Amino acid sequence: MRIVVVSAEVSPWAKTGGLGDVCGALPKALAGRGHLVTTVSPRYKNYPDAWDTGVRARFHLFGMDHEVGFHHCQDEAGAHHIFVDHPSYQRPGIYGDSSGAYGDNLFRFALLSRAAIEAAARVPLNGECVGEDVVFHINDWHTALLPLYLKAIYQPAGRFLRAATVLGLHNLGHHGTSAAHTFAGLDVSARWWPALDFGGNLNVLKTGLTLADKLVAVSPTYAREITDNLGFGLEGMLAARRGDLVGILNGIDATWDPATDPHIAANYTPEDLSGKLLCKTALQRRMGLAVRPDTPLFGVVARLDHQKGIDLISELTPWLVRQEVQLVVLGSGSRELSEFFRGLSANVPRQVGAHIGFDEALAHQIEAGADAFLMPSRFEPCGLNQLYSMRYGTPPIVHATGGLADTVETWSPATGRGTGWAFRPLSVEALREAIGWALYTYRKHPDAWQAIQLNGMRRDSSWNQSALRYEAVYRAALGE
């Protein structure tokens, strides 16, 4: 198959969260299975590994002509990556800066969607273009205008007639909403307005939900939840498309493997966990905590966003501090939570360490160095950090929602099964109880603790199974 994955984020070039990880890793797995696959994403800055192809394209958007260029590289797995070059992408943030989201995001991502279609037709990848018989795998609202452009501009002109579109749903919390008058900037006929109209506003995600051939949510539970109560107002529309909607869990990339991870103090495997203690010591040192091998150390790596439920952890911190545990938090986002954790680590520096910002290496060091991982997300489409923490022998304590419910099995001493603790309902009390069970097991039953670690480390979170499922969806979208 010929597959074009279109995304605002493709790791390692651009990432704010799981969207970037998925769009970096899935193409590799697909390329490894023999498909011609390329990503198309913005060229946010100069990427030294990507070369200018010399191909240019012009689009009329928001009342003006805009020219884009296309840079290209190929990764070690054989997947291609095309980066769309336009001045509006070269800014400090992907979506916004400290004063909020960029005001021209609708333009920036409409441009990306149009450029991705031209890229398929015109950008040579080692001599050959992807062509028009292609599956566009678009992702979240940013690229959800692509099916509209195919239907409104290309297909009426006899182009891309056999192309299919699959919309990946990584987070229903963002719709790409703007005032109705912005529709005029999109350069499509007024008869398409109903596909974008949501309560009198323009809603980009709705367009994709309506016009894409197939929809993929990033876990089976999330696929159900978004037709029920977690669709942020789009539940009815999603329920109407239930027959075209599936849930496919994300896998994790080979860069998240404690046996080979270059970011951590010592490598380790399920057969020999001794390196993990060195990672813990190194993390305690780096974060200025007391260096104590026996003190349970909890890790958090997250966007400090309402979604992630980090406020529940902040409410529990007086209790946590009394339990004589340590806590390391890496995150950025909410000013209030950032200040809270900064303040807490200043007050009890031997017990709490906080790093406010984005730090890829530290994220790996926390996964490896912590004893357990906290992820009380209010909703979680798939979640990657709980997969990483299981892989790193760091049992996760999670709210049983979305992909967390699908991937973390609560430890059962009776059966010896389980990889962590999945609690419900979402409450400080239920989180406290789950942490209580983890502490009890860690302190009183080290053999059981190790069994939980090994269950998690041996869990298959590779992309192979998921890539097979995506292939089936692509074939269905193509009508095969």
Between residues 85 and 261, which has the closer beta carbon with respect to ligand ADP? Answer: 261
Residue 359 Cβ vs ligand ADP, minimum distance, rounded to whole Å: 5
Q: What gap in Å lies between CA 210 and CA 195, rounded to an integer?
A: 7
Structure tokens at 390: 């299981």
Reported in sequence order, the residue ranges of 188-270 that DSSP labels E, i.e. its strands, are 197-198, 201-203, 214-217, 245-247
Residue 49 Cβ vs ligand ADP, minimum distance, rounded to whole Å: 21
Between residues 270 and 333, which has the closer beta carbon with respect to ligand ADP? Answer: 333
Between residues 59 and 470, which has the closer beta carbon with respect to ligand ADP? Answer: 470
Nearest by Cα to 418 from 375, 450, 446, 462 = 450
**Cα separation values, 448 from 134, 246, 442, 453, Å:** 50, 36, 8, 9
Residue 439 Cβ vs ligand ADP, minimum distance, rounded to whole Å: 24
Q: What gap in Å lies between CA 287 and CA 293, rounded to an integer?
A: 14
Whether the upstream peptide bond of residue 156 has omega within 30° of 0, thus cis, is no
Between residues 14 and 209, which has the closer beta carbon with respect to ligand ADP? Answer: 14
Helix axes 428-444, 446-457, angle to 10 degrees: 110
Residue 128 Cβ vs ligand ADP, minimum distance, rounded to whole Å: 33
Residue 341 Cβ vs ligand ADP, minimum distance, rounded to whole Å: 12
Q: Is 316 in a helix, a strand, or coil?
A: helix
Between residues 337 and 439, which has the closer beta carbon with respect to ligand ADP? Answer: 337
Q: What gap in Å lies between CA 312 and CA 47, rounded to an integer?
A: 39
Residue 313 Cβ vs ligand ADP, minimum distance, rounded to whole Å: 14
Between residues 182 and 307, which has the closer beta carbon with respect to ligand ADP? Answer: 307
CB-CB neighbours of 158 under 10 Å: 7
Question: Which residues are 128's β-sheet partners?
Answer: 125
Q: What gap in Å lies between CA 55 and CA 48, rounded to an integer?
A: 18
Q: What distance lies between CA 461 and its chain's CA centroid?
A: 15
Tell me the CB-side half-sphere exposure of residue 471, using CA atoms within 13 A: 16
Between residues 9 and 244, which has the closer beta carbon with respect to ligand ADP? Answer: 9
Between residues 93 and 446, which has the closer beta carbon with respect to ligand ADP? Answer: 93
Task: Write out the residues near ligand ADP by the rule CB under 6 A.
Answer: 17-19, 21, 301-303, 330-332, 358-360, 363, 382-385
Residue 62 Cβ vs ligand ADP, minimum distance, rounded to whole Å: 29
Residue 257 Cβ vs ligand ADP, minimum distance, rounded to whole Å: 14
Phi, psi of 293 (to 5 degrees): -65, -30
